[in-house]
Amino acid sequence: MSPSAAPSSADRPPSSASRTVSKTLSRTSTSRSQAPVKGALEYGYPHGHLGHLTETESTTFAAFKTLLAEHKLYHPATPTAPASHDDATVLRYLRARRWDLPSAHAQFADTEAWRKQADVDGLYDSIDVEAYEASRRLYPQWTGRRDRRGIPIYLFEIRHLDLKTIAKVDKAAGRGKLGNLSALYENLTRFTQPLCSQLTDREYAGRTPITLSTNIVDVTGVTLKGYWNLKGHMQAASELATAHYPETLDRIFIIGAPSFFTTVWGWIKRWFDPVTVSKIFILSPPEVLPTLKSFIAIENIPKKYGGELDFNWNDQPKLDATITKTVEWAGGHNAEFPTGPLYWMPIDGGKRLQCVARGTVGGKERRDVVGSIPVAVEEVAAAAAVNGEVAANGEATVANEEAIRAGQQPVVGEPVVNGVAAADVGSEEHQQQPPPVEANGAALSEIASPASEKFVDAPSEPLVSPPLDIKELSLEEKTDEKKLMETAEALPNGNGTALAAA
């Protein structure tokens, strides 16, 4: 097989390749609903990640780095300098494009051009801390906890958002919505994920970096009109992640979806690549706690969803005990990180990572040392030296080397998942009256168990419960918006109140 070809499933041990299961309620036939769903839950995790590559994947990965280097998009490590991009980051583009070299190269080049044009690194260093915090309150927020695999958990409560607040924050941002939004994604990839990677109380610790996030999205109380008003806000976040931060989203649990949510889903799913779509779970009230408990320890589930974590929307992260004990705190900090942008830099010859608080406060640049952690995954330590930051003798210095960026912006090809092209997912063929939702035959704990051996193919789109009961509405681009909203305002929102009350 050529390096550019997608790796065959034959490259993996059969038992490992099939250890991806879904506990989602199935609306497929009764015979299919008795078995776990392959692909929708973890999409092969940790397969395809560092430390778990097949021979073909490793060959493709090496060829990809060579291709990027030839186009001046990537500089390999030298005896005196780290690689321009860490392996975990480069690998995300291959997974996102299903190991297709031309598509992965196109997306990588497009992202590098965008980062240079938007001065993403400079913004993260200089963004006003108050502006950063204002933007943070409009998007998913890290709870300070991790799921059973050690992946950070984010919470997003949509009902707190309104157009006036969003417009006010965007106007004050200076660099616009995407500028501040990129800073939040930088925090995920440069602070939260590297921190979680170095914690040793997880499976594959010291071997596989954390490059994903688990998201709980609470849509309780949001009317159809409310969704429509927030469409641009949510679309910007989703499309930025898909285009320039690929493979950073893993499980997404949608909670509180009303009966009309399938209408909303018709346009939301077009913002994500099909791989991400296959990992979205829409849960009815009885499913919430049992499903979350299957993937997240009870002490890390917010109380409002039946767990034990005292975390509310807009709280700062409530760090778990492993994090607070692992960090050697400095600069007066104790058991919590400061607000604003943060990232890690290697110190002590790469044996430790140092957390530095950046951004500006009152117009003055901030560079405060918060603490340090021991290195468990060397790949992450090398990654911390990228983006021009190097630490020597505990003090940060700015390196002057800049990678050459590609100016072209080629079109990224359509990925394919579960045998369905992205352009076809959600087509009329896939929208025709599905059977009623039925519960899987096995208990959630049994479905999640490695002992499960029978699998069925993942559905081409998430499974919605309850079934759609408003079939007349559509949010396709050709929809008459005025007519849509007039119709929406006349319909109940599932809670006995009018949509116009949004």
**pLDDT tens profile 114-139:** 999 999 999 999 999 999 999 999 99
Q: In b/e form, how buried is each residue of 60-98, taking b as 16+ CB within 10 angstroms?
A: bbeebbebbeeeebbbeeeeeebbbbbbbbbbbbbbbbb
Q: Check: CB of residue 212 under 8 Å from CB of residue 45.
A: yes
Q: For 484-489, what is the mean pLDDT?
A: 46
Q: Within the chain, what is the greatest distance between any pair of CA atoms? A: 68
- State yes or no: cis peptide before 317, omega within 30 of 0: no
Sign of the Cα pseudo-torsion (379, 383, 389, 394, in order): negative
Q: Check: CB of residue 269 under 8 Å from CB of residue 461.
A: yes
416's tokens = 């394919």
- Whether 386 shows a pLDDT value over 70: the answer reads no
What's residue 385's pLDDT?
54
* pLDDT band with cut points at 50, 70 and 90 for residue 65: very high
Q: 368-374 and 328-329 as β-strands: parallel, antiparallel, unpaired?
A: antiparallel
- Distance between CA atoms of residues 488 and 225, nearest Å: 7
Q: Check: CB of residue 21 under 8 Å from CB of residue 43.
A: no
- Distance between CA atoms of residues 331 and 371, nearest Å: 7
- Whether 428 shows a pLDDT value over 70: the answer reads no
Q: What separation in angstroms does the CA of 87 have from each of 49, 64, 189, 328, 429?
A: 10, 11, 13, 27, 40
- Distance between CA atoms of residues 96 and 301, nearest Å: 29
- Distance between CA atoms of residues 52 and 494, nearest Å: 45
* pLDDT band with cut points at 50, 70 and 90 for residue 404: very low
If 0-12 CB within 10 Å is exposed, 13-18 middle and 19+ buried, where does residue 420 land?
middle
* pLDDT band with cut points at 50, 70 and 90 for residue 234: confident
- Distance between CA atoms of residues 110 and 475, nearest Å: 29
Q: Check: CB of residue 256 under 8 Å from CB of residue 288.
A: no
Q: For 259-284, what is the mean pLDDT?
A: 85
- Whether 467 shows a pLDDT value over 90: the answer reads no
Is the pTM higher than 0.85?
no
CATH of the domain spanning 16-115+426-457 = 1.10.8.20
- Whether 379 shows a pLDDT value over 70: the answer reads no
Q: For 14-26, what is the mean pLDDT?
A: 31
**Which of the two residues, 95 and 232, has the higher pLDDT score?**
95
In whole numbers, what is the pLDDT of the chain averaged over residues? 74
- Whether 10 shows a pLDDT value over 90: the answer reads no
* pLDDT band with cut points at 50, 70 and 90 for residue 44: low
What's residue 171's pLDDT?
74
Q: What is the pLDDT of residues 313-371, one digit of tens each?
A: 999 999 999 999 999 999 999 999 999 999 999 999 999 999 999 999 999 999 999 99
- State yes or no: cis peptide before 450, omega within 30 of 0: no
- Whether 3 shows a pLDDT value over 50: the answer reads no
Q: Cα Rg for the chain, rounded, in angstroms?
A: 22
- Whether 286 shows a pLDDT value over 50: the answer reads yes
What's residue 384's pLDDT?
61
What is the SS3 assignment for 233? Answer: helix
Q: Residue 39 carries which DSSP code?
A: S
* 382 C-beta neighbours (distance < 10 Å), count: 19
Identify the CA nearest to 89 among candidates 183, 182, 193: 193
- Whether 167 shows a pLDDT value over 70: the answer reads yes
- Distance between CA atoms of residues 179 and 119, nearest Å: 9
311's tokens = 């975390």
- Whether 15 shows a pLDDT value over 50: the answer reads no
- Whether 8 shows a pLDDT value over 50: the answer reads no
* pLDDT band with cut points at 50, 70 and 90 for residue 382: low
What's residue 77's pLDDT?
94
Q: For 12-30, what is the mean pLDDT?
A: 32
Q: For 197-203, what is the mean pLDDT?
A: 96
- Whether 494 shows a pLDDT value over 70: the answer reads no
- Whether 478 shows a pLDDT value over 70: the answer reads no
What is the SS3 assignment for 467? Answer: coil
DSSP string, 50-118: TT---HHHHHHHHHHHHHHHHTTS----BTTB--SS-HHHHHHHHHHTTT-HHHHHHHHHHHHHHHHHH
What's residue 237's pLDDT?
85
Element (H, E) at 285: helix 285-295
* pLDDT band with cut points at 50, 70 and 90 for residue 173: low
**Which of the two residues, 284 and 467, has the higher pLDDT score?**
284
- Whether 256 shows a pLDDT value over 90: the answer reads yes
Q: For 421-441, what is the mean pLDDT?
A: 35
Q: What are phi and psi of 193, to 5 degrees?
A: -65, -45
Q: For 26-31, what is the mean pLDDT?
A: 30
What's residue 76's pLDDT?
96
Q: Check: CB of residue 185 under 8 Å from CB of residue 135.
A: no
What's residue 62's pLDDT?
98
Percent above pLDDT 70 for the chain:
65
What's residue 495's pLDDT?
36
If 0-12 CB within 10 Å is exposed, 13-18 middle and 19+ buried, where does residue 296 land?
buried
Q: Check: CB of residue 42 under 8 Å from CB of residue 455.
A: no
**Domain residues of the chain, as ranges?**
16-115+426-457
Sign of the Cα pseudo-torsion (434, 439, 445, 450, in order): negative
25's tokens = 């309620």
- Distance between CA atoms of residues 138 and 307, nearest Å: 24
Q: What are phi and psi of 26, to 5 degrees?
A: -105, 135
- Whether 215 shows a pLDDT value over 60: the answer reads yes
What's residue 381's pLDDT?
57
The label of the residue with tokens 């070299």 reads 101
